[in-house]
Amino acid sequence: MKAFMIERYGDKDGGHLAETPDPQVGADDVLVRVRAASVNPLDLKLREGEFKAILPYRLPLILGNDVAGSVAQVGSAVTRFAVGDEVYARPDKDRIGTFAELIAVHQDDVALKPATLTMEEAASLPLVALTSWQALVERAQVRPGQKVLIHAGSGGVGTIAVQLAKQLGAHVATTVSTAKADLVKGLGADVVVDYRQQAFETVLDGYDLVLDTLGGETLEKSLRVLKPGGQVIGIAGPPDPAFARELGANAILRLAMSALSFKTRRRAKRRGVTYSFLFMKADGDQLRELTPLIDAGKIRPVVDRVFPFEETREAMEYVEKGRARAGKVVVAMA
């Protein structure tokens, strides 16, 4: 099969298309013939080796963390799917590789594709939709009437998180540039802060939750908008001790992760709020929870541009250089 892969971390050429053996299909696996896959910032970070300490992949590595396609083969223990089913998935972190003609995914991580979506639209969703669900529903347990701030509401995670928070009954604020204000209002945002014109930490106050997709200075400022007992959930880091334990990291790595977030956690504690880091997990059941919302039009994908599979490197460069106006960038098979 053809696949887009990197031979080494930090490859200046940015990866290349190559012929590679078809995936082996285990008893619990679904072999998906890839119709579309989307580009995530995670792919860029993996290419540069930013996660090699915690995600020790064997090189060469096929990139790609989202997929939509049709079932080409099922393992002997698969009960949920049949050949020909149209599906979408975020493969487990140890089994990525959706920038390819085929990928084997554990059946627990796969869900039937929303019937109302194209393959390209469906491929744009799994990673960002699961991130949003795990932050807002699973961890924060957002309730009607709560105030939620979602940074970068026009981004891949932001476009979905704004819609999901609104469906949960929250009062939703987000940060974007002026040009994208109408987009996020259409997605359900109640308050839109133009980060180029206003300092969000001076105009927002009393929030129950901040979903931080940016990290750095934005994370530190986000602590100021929370009410006592509020929380920041960060997906851009820094990692925290709970994540280190969840990852099963060794003592040295646990200590390093704890040190990275120590100042942030200390500042949060002084303000009577909390900070936690979220690294989303593959979960087919959660995708099945999201699918009815998608088919009902309550959550809709935002796709910026679709590239042909042969231009996967160009698609990654497009994302890396910040050319995407809103939502996700997708690569599609012919």
Mean pLDDT (the chain) is 96
Residues in the chain: 334
**pLDDT given for residue 253 in this prediction:** 83
Which two three-digit tokens encode residue 17?
């298309």
Q: Taking Cα atoms as reference points, which of 142, 192, 139, 181 lies closest to residue 164?
A: 142
Q: How would residue 102 be classed by pLDDT, with cut points 50, 70 and 90?
A: very high
Rounded percentage of the chain residues whose pLDDT exceeds 90: 88
Q: How would residue 194 be classed by pLDDT, with cut points 50, 70 and 90?
A: very high
**pLDDT given for residue 55 in this prediction:** 84
**pLDDT given for residue 292 in this prediction:** 97
Q: How would residue 244 be classed by pLDDT, with cut points 50, 70 and 90?
A: confident
Q: What is the mean pLDDT of residues 3-30?
A: 93
Q: Which domains does the chain have, with CATH numbers?
A: 2-125+301-332 (3.90.180.10), 127-277 (3.40.50.720)
**pLDDT given for residue 241 in this prediction:** 87
**pLDDT given for residue 237 in this prediction:** 84
**pLDDT given for residue 254 in this prediction:** 85
At 292-334, the pLDDT tens digits run 999 999 999 999 999 999 999 999 999 999 989 899 999 999 8
CA distance 295 to 155: 21
At 203-239, the pLDDT tens digits run 999 999 999 999 999 999 999 999 999 999 999 989 9
Q: What is the mean pLDDT of residues 163-177?
A: 98
Residue 231 pairs with which residues in a beta bridge? 209, 274
At 116-164, the pLDDT tens digits run 999 999 999 999 999 999 999 999 999 999 999 999 999 999 999 999 9
**pLDDT given for residue 291 in this prediction:** 98
Q: How would residue 54 be classed by pLDDT, with cut points 50, 70 and 90?
A: confident
Contacts 24+ apart (CB under 8 A), 162-166: 162/187, 162/188, 162/189, 163/187, 163/188, 163/298, 163/299, 163/300, 164/129, 164/132, 164/133, 164/136, 164/137, 164/293, 164/299, 165/136
Rounded percentage of the chain residues whose pLDDT exceeds 70: 100
**pLDDT given for residue 52 in this prediction:** 86
